[in-house]
Each structure stands twice: as C-alpha cells, then as structure tokens.
C-alpha cells in the first residue's frame, strides 16, 4: 500500500502550524483524522502512514512535532515502534490511540512508561468515529496542548528563533495553546486552620504518571484518611489505573462503587463515564455515582467531587489539582476554599499540561503551588498538623 508523505517546510518557527504525523492501518480513520487536523489553522498533517515501520523509516525526513500512533498495526505495532521513534526524534510528542479493550488499556499504560506523552481511546467502528465529536475535540486539544508545550521547551533549549517569522501574515490566524503565568508570579493564600479529614484529587493529561508517583509517597496519609480521585479517563482505563495505584501505594485502590462506605486506608477512583461524589447516608459516608451530563466537557469531572466533599467534611477537605487540560477543578476548588478547606496545585514546570492546575492557581485559591516531587511531603505534613 502506498504511503502518503508531505514534504517538510524549509523553516521552522513557533508560529508555524504544529506538524502532525498520523499512523494507523485503517485508511478511513487516517483520512478522517487527517481532515480534522488539516481543518485547524494551527495544525497540519505532514505524514499519513499505514504502519509503525513506515513511521520509523519516515520520521527523520518529515520531522513531525506530534505523532498519533495506533497500537494495532501490521509489520510493526505501536508499542514496538514507540521507542524507535523516540530514539530517532527525542522531542517527539507521541499520543497512543487504541480502542477500549483491557489489552489496549494495558498497552497504553506501558507506552506512557516508555515515553508516550498521552493516549486517546478510539471509538470501536468507523461508523461510530464519524459522529464522535468528543473524540475529535479531545484529539485536537491533546495535539494542540502537548505540541505547544514541546515547542516551548524546545525554544528554551534553542532560543535562536528567526525573528522575521514573528511578522508573518499567518501568525495572527494561528490559535496557539494559551500559556498560563508561571507560578512564581502568582499569589497564594495562607492555609486554613481546619484539619483535613479527606484528600480529594483531580487530574487529567499526564495524571496517571503523576498519581502513581504521588500515591507511592503518601502511604501514611492514605492510612489515616480516605483518598478520592477523579482522573479524566474512559471505562476500562480507570479499572487498569486503579490496579496500578494499588501497586504503587501498596494500599487498596479500586473504582468507586455506588453506595459503598468511604473509609480511611482506601483509594477510590471515579469510574470512567460516571461522576463520583461523596455523600452522607445516615451515619455513614458513601460513594455516590451518577450518569448525568458531562461537566466541563468531562465525565467523570473533578468539580462534582470537590463540591461534594464540602457537604460531608465541611472545611476538612484538602483538594489537589494535578496536571491536565482545561479548568476542571477550579470552580469546585473555589467552593472548598469558601467552606474553609485548602487547595494545592501542581506547578507548571512539572505538569504535562498546566491547564487545570494553572486555572486554580490563577484564580487565587491555592495555598501552595508545588512541583510534583514536593507535593507528597507537603500533604504528609498537612495531615500531621503542620500549617506552615
């Protein structure tokens, strides 16, 4: 089968469209994704390839910023092609694409441990994909935000960008991903005197890796209080994530079950496709799941979890906003602070995407804005009574 490859541009600047390589053995899906990307003024398809082997052979010539890499392909599958692509282009952003099977979810998690930036679940059939507005929205946003971050990091490493490019006519038409102010310019509020009685966490893009790092560090906190997490993820993927969190923390972790009692010592993860809340049921505190509409374009969403914590624990909520696109968690965080609780956000430098934590930080609701490697220690101190 012939391979369609667009010729690379001669010059590169931060205002040029992000260069995307689409790798999928389905000609229908390749064509559909390519049309979506090329319709965006800040994105362009530079390669439409059928196999992982094609991608490995072409990547140095077409120089993509982002690759959409299918998992199941002939000749060389996605998980086998991934390390070879990253070896040939170290700063390549790779987004794994797969259908919602347990095997593919496991492979996607393995891919992220091998250097993939993120994953995106594909609808099961081409008939379904043609109407999948959510898939289209998520795909374009992931390309845009992850690609923009890679270019910012590249420009820091290689600041000599041609100044003439800044005056090109097309620059005003491009819609680059917004860059939030760096944390050092932001104002934090003092921690409240309320002793936290629950840890509520929201995360999205980059969240699985951040959560596994964090859960491995806060075992003593998990033993004392319940930990409830909303990670933007589809069904099956959340099942696998819960298993990974259990291994990382060496504590029980599972998807929340409607009506089950919430107890210290356990990690509860919102199941894909359902919002998860904490609720009172007589003398007990229980998990409440609902199948309502998306909130902030997300289901599960972070805001419902955060706001529900106020009804149960009042000011005894510590809300943590980790890496992710969008602003989910910011409104719920405002309500947590108004009720006497506290909010911590991950800083920009350690976030894969500083959307959610950046929104919380810019809203002025955070008592700390920290790199990931400092969050665990800070949470441990807070639950030990240290308010400094």
Tokens 């809300």 identify what position? 319
Active site residue 204: yes
Tokens 């694409």 identify what position? 97
* Contact present, 68 and 23 (Cβ < 8 Å): yes
Spatial strand order of the sheet with 198-203 comes to 253-255, 267-269, 227-231, 198-203, 317-321, 342-346, 368-370
* Contact present, 372 and 211 (Cβ < 8 Å): no
Active site residue 232: yes
Distance CA 319, CA 306 (A): 7
Q: Catalytic pick from 204, 327, 351, 367?
A: 204
CA 42 to chain centre: 21
Q: Catalytic pick from 34, 42, 54, 232?
A: 232
* Contact present, 226 and 199 (Cβ < 8 Å): yes
Distance CA 367, CA 250 (A): 29
Q: Which long-range contacts (CB under 8 A, 24 or more apart) does 165-173 make?
A: 165/11, 165/13, 165/14, 165/15, 165/16, 166/13, 166/15, 168/13, 168/15, 170/15, 170/41, 171/15, 173/41
- Three-class SS string for 343-388? EEEECCCCCCCECHHHHHHHCCCCCEEECHHHHHHHHHHHCCCCCC
Distance CA 301, CA 233 (A): 10
Q: Catalytic pick from 42, 65, 328, 347?
A: 328
Give the pairing type, strands 43-49 and 18-23. parallel
Tokens 């500083």 identify what position? 354
* Contact present, 103 and 72 (Cβ < 8 Å): no
Distance CA 369, CA 360 (A): 9
Active site residues: 204, 232, 328
């Amino acid at each position: 089968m012939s391979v369609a490859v667009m010729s690379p541009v001669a010059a590169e600047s931060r205002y040029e469209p992000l260069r995307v390589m689409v790798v999928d053995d389905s000609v229908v899906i390749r064509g559909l994704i390519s049309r979506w990307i090329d319709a965006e003024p800040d994105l362009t398809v530079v390669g439409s390839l059928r196999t992982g082997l094609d991608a490995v052979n072409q990547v140095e010539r077409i120089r993509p910023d982002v690759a959409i890499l299918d998992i199941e392909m002939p000749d060389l599958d996605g998980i086998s092609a991934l390390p070879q692509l990253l070896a040939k282009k170290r700063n390549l952003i790779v987004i794994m694409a797969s259908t919602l099977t347990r095997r593919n979810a496991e492979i996607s998690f393995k891919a992220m441990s091998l250097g993939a930036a993120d994953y995106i679940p594909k609808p099961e059939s081409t008939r379904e994909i043609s109407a999948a507005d959510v898939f289209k929205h998520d795909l374009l946003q992931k390309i845009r935000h992850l690609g923009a971050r890679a270019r910012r990091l590249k420009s820091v490493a290689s600041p000599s960008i041609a100044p003439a490019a800044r005056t090109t006519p097309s620059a005003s038409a491009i819609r680059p991903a917004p860059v939030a102010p760096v944390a050092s310019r932001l104002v934090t509020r003092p921690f409240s005197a309320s002793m936290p009685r629950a840890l509520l966490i929201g995360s999205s893009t980059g969240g699985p890796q951040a959560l596994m790092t964090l859960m491995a560090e806060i075992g003593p906190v998990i033993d004392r209080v319940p930990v409830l997490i909303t990670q933007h993820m589809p069904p099956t993927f959340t099942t696998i994530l819960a298993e990974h969190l259990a291994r990382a923390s060496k504590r029980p972790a599972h998807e929340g079950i409607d009506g089950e009692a919430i107890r210290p010592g356990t990690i509860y993860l919102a199941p894909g496709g359902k919002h998860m809340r904490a609720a009172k049921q007589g003398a007990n505190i229980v998990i409440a799941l609902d199948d309502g509409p998306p909130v902030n374009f997300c289901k599960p969403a972070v805001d419902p979890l955060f706001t529900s914590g106020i009804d149960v624990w009042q000011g005894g909520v510590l809300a943590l906003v980790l890496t992710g696109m969008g602003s989910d968690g910011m409104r719920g965080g405002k309500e947590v602070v108004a009720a006497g609780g506290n909010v911590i956000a991950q800083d920009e430098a350690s976030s894969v995407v500083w959307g959610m934590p950046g929104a919380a930080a810019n809203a002025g609701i955070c008592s700390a804005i920290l790199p990931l490697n400092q969050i665990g220690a800070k949470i441990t101190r807070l639950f030990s009574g240290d308010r400094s």
